[in-house]
Amino acid sequence: MHEYESKSNQDGSSFGGRVLQSGPRAGDASHDPRGGRRMQGGTGLKKLRFRRLVLVGALVLALAAGLALATQSIGVTQVIVANALYEGVNVAARRPPDGVDPGWKATLKITGASDIFVNSNSAVPGANGGWHSHPGLSIVSVTQGAVWNYSSEDPNCAPTVIMAGHGFVEPGNHVHLLRNEGTVDAKWTTTAIRPAGSPARIDQPAPPNCPF
């Protein structure tokens, strides 16, 4: 039996007292045959690092899959004409009927802080705006050529064609795609109303009912 005097660890802490040791016991995994004792937790640390690597890899793959599924805009140019922050809007206008004219009225009510952008857009022939949605609504006025508006909710994937001088209102969170299937450049102006600080658009994967 060997007897060892009390010694200090490398960090300055003392084992305390005298240590009687008869040598390594069979199956003692904590004993280093080269002398002394090895640090515990090495295997656990390796497992923790491995798990972190697996998690990071999974996140990277998920991000790559999302980017692969999203459809990008091609051939469309947008220029911001104006933008401003509004702290809520609640206005109305009307023209009462007069016996001949049935009258007219309009209401705009926005709760909460909002960004309102006015954008000028153009698309070359064959351009594809990519499948996307908006967090708020968009008032679209076509000023040149025509745009083909596809809705992800249409099982027949049939477009609505909006000619110059006409427009449409795109509701929030609706997945759609604009194309220029004509022979001249298409131009339109958009007034976009969305929650303050939110993105202008959210790229979306192509729906299964449309071939593009």
Give domain limits for the chain: 2-68, 71-203
- Predicted confidence (pLDDT) per residue in 96-149, tens digit: 998 888 999 999 999 999 999 999 999 999 999 999 999 999 999 999 999 999
Token look-up 């594809």 returns 128
pLDDT at 96: 92
Residue 97 vs residues 26, 47, 94, 104, 199: alpha-carbon distances, Å: 101, 77, 9, 7, 41
Which residues partner with 188 through β-bridges? 121, 142
User: CA angle, corner 159, sides to 157 and 162, nearest 5?
Assistant: 165
- Predicted confidence (pLDDT) per residue in 27-54, tens digit: 444 444 444 444 455 666 666 566 666 5
Fold that domain 71-203 belongs to in CATH: Jelly Rolls (2.60.120)
pLDDT at 120: 98
**pLDDT above 50 for 10:** no
Average pLDDT, the chain: 80
What is the share, in percent, of the chain residues with pLDDT greater than 70?
Answer: 67
